[in-house]
Structure 1
Amino acid sequence: MPNLPTHARAVIIGGGVIGCSLAYHLAQKGWRDVVLLERKQLTSGTTWHAAGLIGQLRASQNMTRLAAYSAELYQALEQETGLQTGFRRTGSISTALTADRHEELLRQASMARAFGVEAEPISTSDIKARYPHLNTSDMLGGVYLASDGQGDPSNIALAMAKGARQKGVQIFEQTEVTDVTRNGRRVEAVHWQRGEESGSITCDHVVNCAGMWGHQLGRMLGSNVPLQACEHFYIVTETIPDLGQLPVLRVTDECAYYKEDAGKLLIGAFEPNAKPWGMGGIPKDFEFDQLPEDFDHFEPILEKAVNRMPVLAQTGIHTFFNGPESFTPDDAYHLGQAPEMDNVWVAAGFNSIGIQSAGGAGMALAEWMDSGEKPFDLGDVDIARMHPFQGNRHYLVERAKESLGLLYADHYPFRQKATARGVRRSVLHDRLADEGAVFGELAGWERANWFANPGQTADYRYSWKRQNWFENAAQEHRAIRENVGLYDMSSFGKLRVEGPEACAFLNHICGAEMDVAPGRIVYTQFLNAGGGIEADVTVTRLSETAYLVVTPALTRLADETWMRRHLRDARAVITDMTAAETVIAVMGPKARDLMQRVSPNDFSNANNPFGTAQQVEIGMALARVHRVSYVGELGWEVYVSTDMALHVFDALNTARVEMGGRLCGLHVMDSCRMEKGFRHFGHDITCEDHVLEAGLGFAVKTDKVDFIGRDAVLRKREAGLSKRLVQFKLRDPAPLLYHAEPILRDGQVVGYITSGSYGHHLGAAMSMGYVPCEGETAAELLASSYEIEIAGERFVAEASLKPFYDPKSERVRQ
């Protein structure tokens, strides 16, 4: 056997399809001293038993882009390596048995047009023609994707491994990683054992591609990789005469998928109540293994399958297979640089879509490792979105019971997870619950999304149309626009930056000027070298040497990680203060009246203008109030230490009741910000959206000498914009917009909606999206006619570069 090297630029741990893909793509980038270590044999964990479905369409443009890349790669690999990948474009059909599922599919077909994927809505008779064995009597229709396909998972992985070897990657099987040497935020060496041999490899980078072993390997590498193995079931029938080649079929309302292979059918399931496995750790000797049969668990799926495919009643079962696959808390895989470490990377937890994702994921991660920058927005899968508590094993087991089944559940807007709830609660939680709050969950935080009226069921009733809380949100919206509303924003990330060089450090990573007077609040972005937006934050100067950076709840860890990676040797300390302070928003034209009822302090414009903070008394407590607004109205965010938060809330809430105001949820915050045209990070603005094209040039001060992204801002100002973020308002008050609906300009698809919500004050669905504008003036851009496509139907939209609501921002400054 060949000897293992003593040093490598990158050590990849795990020889499934993901590890092989990364090895292949690093070699394509010119990395020669790459080592892949596999504990047993290549593909022996999960890859070998995967169903091999290769779909194109995902929930976002970039995830679709990666899936499409995978399909193209697998087709080309055969010629490059001489190994057959088994890839063929069979097409796929997704079917609907309910009106809600049918609308979801039609919306997906429209979204596909925006993402450049061919998707054809088809009738029941069309489905029957393409799948003659199918019982279509209760089907309402479906969508056909001609470019979808299937392949041989093991051969795909082995082909990429061969391609990697051909370019110098060294792959060692039967080689177990036993430990690592860590020095601070770096792994310096990987220790291995092969039979009686053992040794170590010093390395510049190490990558966790260990699949369902990824969680425990992550701990060895000093990183948090939240995933949980679950049992995944499928059967393979005996040969069915005259079956013929068929598209992949998904009957998601029955939790089942069907794949024809060599005259047989493979029938798999994503059942609503999954079975977690390996809670005590994955066995070390697991190799090309399977789990015990559980026919009772699979039987309900099979019964529906026999009704759906009557030929199954006369067909025997050749194989009943139960094999483990790894699932993450949010059904999105983990990719990228581990937040806790500087040279540890992750590509794991692929939620049964590893084959269709592997090519693109390997390409994207190789680009990231090679350049040090994300090649495009990977926020959907960036490992930095996972918070530390999500590595808790009990949490992972409870969430995994649900997450597997959610792959085929109705993907309703605003759908909330039902499992692993109540982990993180604001100190106000019980007060809000007593007032009728209906909670949603984000990054573990229980957040009041809307408030039920007396006698109303305090629960979601999901739909693609107006949901049961639509009128509640309208009432809360009116309170903020006409009176006053209170809502809990304690989930804000709060990062204190303190030290003699805090100002210089923040000026380096922020686009705006940070050297402001104490008490000033600055809205700003963290930019990357290309001028893209890595974070969207407010920064409050608390004193000469201390600042508070306030971030969205979901991106708190990612934003803190960005800050720490750029802190270097600056004399400043970053401290997470999120749990230390409760935040209560007081918003609306009567917000000043409310504040003056509970505090002796001066809230006038003269003393507390917009964009400033001050220490105040509220009731018998102390607080700090920030004069800012994300809803486009006069308002304050009240920051109070957690020990005094209930007292302050009670004082504010008593005054709110006296004034006839309302407690509000975060759904209404979103609808108000949409009317005002305020951007939402992760949707309207991402790392690949240039700050000027996002319409945020006012928040960038290029007269500062040195900040990340400054050169890119100057170049874009010189070259001109290639796209603009445009706000849209539908003329028809009935339809609803959510995300990724196509934008048509003069009849042609030019983009898609980045975020949408209903504007209750303006009386129609509102949205934003980027529109190409190379060489055009703003007037020329707005002179066109615009439509938004929803489930195949087009609706006329008004377009604006200024907010539809209060375009001069007079209300927030009143």
Structure 2
Amino acid sequence: MSLFRRLYARRPQFLSKRAQGGDSQNLRLPTQSRVVVCGGGVIGSSVAYHLAQRGWTDVVLLEQGRSLGCGTTWHAAGLIGLLRPTKALMTLSKYGRELYKSLETKTGFDTGFRECGSLYLATTQDSMIYFKRLLSLAKSSRIEAHLVTPKEANQLCYDHWIRTDDLKGALWVPQGGTANPSDVCQALAKGASQKGVTIITSSAVNSILTSNGRVWGVETDEGNIRCEYFVNCGGQWAHQLGKKSNPQVAIPLHSTEHFYVVTQPIKGIPNMLPVMREYDAGVYLREWSGGVCAGAFEVEAKPCFADGIPDNFEFQLLPEDWEHIAGPLEAAIHRMPALGKAEIRQQINGPESFTPDNRYIIGEAPEIENYFVAAGLNSTGIANAAGVGRCLVEWIIDGQPSVDLTLMDIKRFAEHHNEKSFLYNRVKEVVGSIYALPYPGKQFNESRGVKWSPLAERHENAGAVWCEVMGNEIVQWFGDGKHDNDENTFGRPRWLEFVRAELLAAWQSSALFDLTSFAKFEIRGRGALHLVEKLCCVKTNMSNYSQQHAIMLNEKGGIEVDCQLVRLEENRYFLLAAAELLTRAHHWIRKHLPEDQSVTVFDRTDDYALLSLIGPKTDTILSRAFDLSTLQPEEAKEADFVLGDFSPVILTKDKMQATSILVPAKFAIDVYDQLMKSNRNELIDAGMHAYNAWRVQNGLATWQRELSPYISPLEAGMTDLIDYTKYFIGKEALLSQREDGIKRTLALFRLEDPTGEVMPWGNEPIRKRGEEIVGVTTSGATFDVDSEAALCLGYVNLADWHNLATDKAIRDHLVEMENDYVIDVSGKAYRAKIVY
């Protein structure tokens, strides 16, 4: 009996049109349901299960195929790993392991979970460094893990099943293991149906019905279902399912061919052989029904289904391709010689979907209210489906997951991410990145050059080294033509010498940063003041031609948007935010627009360039170039530069003395050339590495590093941005937190390192009083200009602190505390002093 027939025979029996003769009247399709979940793979089943666990049983799960898990779940390799690159993902994996162990007791359906352990093998010194970083993160997540020698790795593999003579070492995770993917899916579905969830197979969704930007129903091939919420768990079909609504929902993922081989039984192979992952070779190995399963994450993958997934593609595989996987298979045989002598039972080439940045797609779609998505788990669907399902249900019911999944929020994408050609080329590279070492700053090479600054040619001539953010090509630093962005290291990179020169200019003279990639919005109309007052917790009824750092909060007091707000007229504002906030900020503003249409928001991101000058000589440089009067802190002005044409610009200066020039994109080169021509010896170009270093040295938090919907301004050192005398979203939550006291605070650390080699990059555990982990770093990769010592920002847990409601009170208390902190960088502890 073939693999898929055996899996199909083991399924629980749910409502099926085909099983009941195809009569839609016999199907008893509900006319309404609180939630409709589309997709009966492991993710959709997990969402249904967790909805039922929360008491939401008025739920319908629709699967277009004839059985649950018949799309891509059934051919997954079933690896249950616990180690991930972030603490949030480790939390999801840890939860999934615990759930799969207990599901048989809860549902009567065994998941096939085996706790055989996971062994991560290193053949290079860089892999060992990365494993040390993972080990530190695992400890902070309370996951048991141990570095072991090659000899100990051999012993864990029953003494002779792997070759270890070329290993540098390994990382052992005893609680890792495997599970049967189809059994996991069926057990979750069984647990949902036992509590009253309706599961219907052989029922396709034709359209998601909306009104006024909100979900109200689902049209199927058997009729309509009215609903409050729709959840897209379509797996590799999620992208095309996103197009079946008005407006369409962008879900950027693309299918690729994905390979593993399974052997016939091998005599003597242990049933509890650990799962082995060798990142350096891009392969994994596990025991499989008495034989071996060897899988690969090849450097260049093969995208498929560029013209759409074929109809009725269920329990199907793609053609074998032995030539494509020859290299990874040779590496697997090298690691496990017995594999080379075994008879191959089957090559599995099953399509899986991948996202353009190798991060999950989770959350409420920005296009439609109450339309949620859980897709694109990038070949970790079995391991993390449980955690993703639970978090998405929390998102629906509680308004926010219990785990900070901001980096995986669907609102991180821009329009270009969903374009077919972009996805097709990018996923070729994404598959290989899953097992590639995640060097700090490592960039994708495919699907680049989507957006360029008007100054790109000038920057290229000045020796720019580029990175990509939200499709924008951004200068990392300016080099000498001998350095590029392909340097891979966890230590101190060679480009520091260039960044130091740029940073010195920002402190001693003036440095020019091209921030054209920033999101830019114009808010205007008779209700503009009322809107920004409600959205921003800072005072926004400021004088015309003034500027203010502002943050927008959610109802829980967490930060949704971090921005610069410029008031030009009584009811006209400009809002500037980091490029990563483009979709999120636009969605948040539109979500709160008044129904009387008294406010209009315009996306001006592509209309304007943004230049920022930082340094003590900036005022002199500007006046020398353009004959301007000096700006005061938090002042803004409109000016007319006559540069061959009428060229209005907006200038602002913030509290940190950074002066920004917002200029129409077509005049950006004129403004830049005028600045450089007038100040050849005192103004230099600088990139984002120097900008980040300047930011960290000043203790300034930024989005996706220190700021997220889970961080309040009290915790982030932003109490000066709160005006409690007015109403704003999140005010009640802040008042409550101020009364109860904060539990963590952002701190700036200086590391003590006599060698001058340490480089914190973020995600390093912060310890105090021996082994007690009290926090984690958020930003690093910087240094103090004067001392060359490494600096980093990080949150410190302060569960015993109360009534420290101002930044000054917090910082005064920090100064009084003992400086016995250490920061674990790649497995080595460095003493760290809190700067403030």
TM range (shorter): over 0.9
1:103 matched to 2:129: yes
How far apart are residue 128 of structure 1 and its match?
1.1
1:652-695 Cα distance to aligned partner (Å, 9 max, x none): 12234x22432111011001111110001112122112221221
Match of 2:144 in 1: 118
Gapped regions of structure 1 (runs ≥ 5): 802-814
How far apart are residue 618 of structure 1 and its match?
4.2
One-letter identity of the residue aligned with 2:633: F
Aligned with 2:252 (options 203, 226, 232): 226
1:327-361 Cα distance to aligned partner (Å, 9 max, x none): 00000111110011112111111100001111011
Matches within 5 A, 1:606-625: 608-618=631-641, 620=643, 621-625=647-651
Q: Distance in 1 between matches of 2:399 and 2:299?
A: 40
Match of 2:762 in 1: 739
Aligned with 1:474 (options 496, 500, 521): 500
SS at match of 1:425: coil
Match of 1:797 in 2: 832
1:530-572 Cα distance to aligned partner (Å, 9 max, x none): 2111121111111101111111101111111112112242621
1:41-74 Cα distance to aligned partner (Å, 9 max, x none): 2101110010111112222222211111111111
Aligned with 2:64 (options 20, 39, 46): 39
Q: Distance in 2 between matches of 1:346 and 1:749?
A: 34
Contact 1:526 1:535 in 2 (8 A): yes
Runs (4+) of structure 1 exceeding 6 A deviation are none
Match of 1:192 in 2: 220
Matches within 5 A, 1:88-487: 88-131=114-157, 132-193=160-221, 198-221=222-245, 222-244=248-270, 245-453=272-480, 455-487=481-513
Q: Distance in 2 between matches of 1:467 and 1:645?
A: 32
Q: Distance in 2 between matches of 1:375 and 1:312?
A: 43
Contact 1:756 1:768 in 2 (8 A): yes
Q: Relative to structure 1, is the Cα distance of residues 133 and 775 closer, same or farther in structure 2, using a 3 angstrom cutoff?
A: closer
How far apart are residue 456 of structure 1 and its match?
2.1
Contact 1:207 1:344 in 2 (8 A): yes
Contact 1:276 1:397 in 2 (8 A): yes
1:676 matched to 2:686: no
Match of 1:753 in 2: 777
Q: Distance in 1 between matches of 2:712 and 2:487?
A: 38
Contact 1:723 1:771 in 2 (8 A): yes
Aligned with 1:30 (options 37, 55, 65): 55
Q: Distance in 1 between matches of 2:127 and 2:501?
A: 29
Q: Distance in 2 between matches of 1:373 and 1:108?
A: 27
Q: Distance in 2 between matches of 1:172 and 1:799?
A: 58
Q: Distance in 1 between matches of 2:658 and 2:134?
A: 39
1:433-486 Cα distance to aligned partner (Å, 9 max, x none): 111111100111000111112x52444322112223121111111111112111
Q: Relative to structure 1, is the Cα distance of residues 117 and 619 closer, same or farther in structure 2, using a 3 angstrom cutoff?
A: farther
Q: TM-score, normalised by structure 1?
A: 0.95
Question: For structure 1, which segment, 743-752 or 766-775, has the greater mean C-alpha deviation from structure 2 after superposition?
Answer: 766-775
Match of 1:551 in 2: 577
Contact 2:546 2:637 in 1 (8 A): no
1:720 matched to 2:720: no
Contact 1:484 1:587 in 2 (8 A): yes
Contact 1:27 1:169 in 2 (8 A): yes
Question: For structure 1, which segment, 55-64 or 500-509, has the greater mean C-alpha deviation from structure 2 after superposition?
Answer: 55-64
1:708 matched to 2:732: no
Aligned with 1:51 (options 77, 89, 92): 77
Contact 2:285 2:332 in 1 (8 A): no
Q: Distance in 1 between matches of 2:619 and 2:642?
A: 16
Q: What is the identity percentage for the equivalent residue pairs of Structure 1 and Structure 2? A: 35
Q: Distance in 1 between matches of 2:40 and 2:280?
A: 34
Match of 1:514 in 2: 540
How far apart are residue 373 of structure 1 and its match?
3.3
Match of 1:662 in 2: 684
SS at match of 1:567: coil
One-letter identity of the residue aligned with 1:593: T
State the aligned residue count. 787
Match of 2:822 in 1: 787
How far apart are residue 784 of structure 1 and its match?
4.3
1:526 matched to 2:561: no
Gapped regions of structure 2 (runs ≥ 5): 1-19, 21-26, 805-809
Question: For structure 1, which segment, 686-695 or 663-672, has the greater mean C-alpha deviation from structure 2 after superposition?
Answer: 686-695
Match of 1:810 in 2: none
Q: Relative to structure 1, is the Cα distance of residues 360 and 587 closer, same or farther in structure 2, using a 3 angstrom cutoff?
A: same
Q: Distance in 2 between matches of 1:459 and 1:510?
A: 38
Contact 2:565 2:575 in 1 (8 A): yes
How far apart are residue 760 of structure 1 and its match?
4.2
Q: Distance in 2 between matches of 1:401 and 1:653?
A: 41
Contact 1:729 1:765 in 2 (8 A): yes
Q: TM-score, normalised by structure 2?
A: 0.92
One-letter identity of the residue aligned with 1:144: W
Contact 1:255 1:269 in 2 (8 A): yes
One-letter identity of the residue aligned with 1:20: S
How far apart are residue 386 of structure 1 and its match?
1.2
Q: Distance in 1 between matches of 2:415 and 2:340?
A: 49
One-letter identity of the residue aligned with 2:207: D
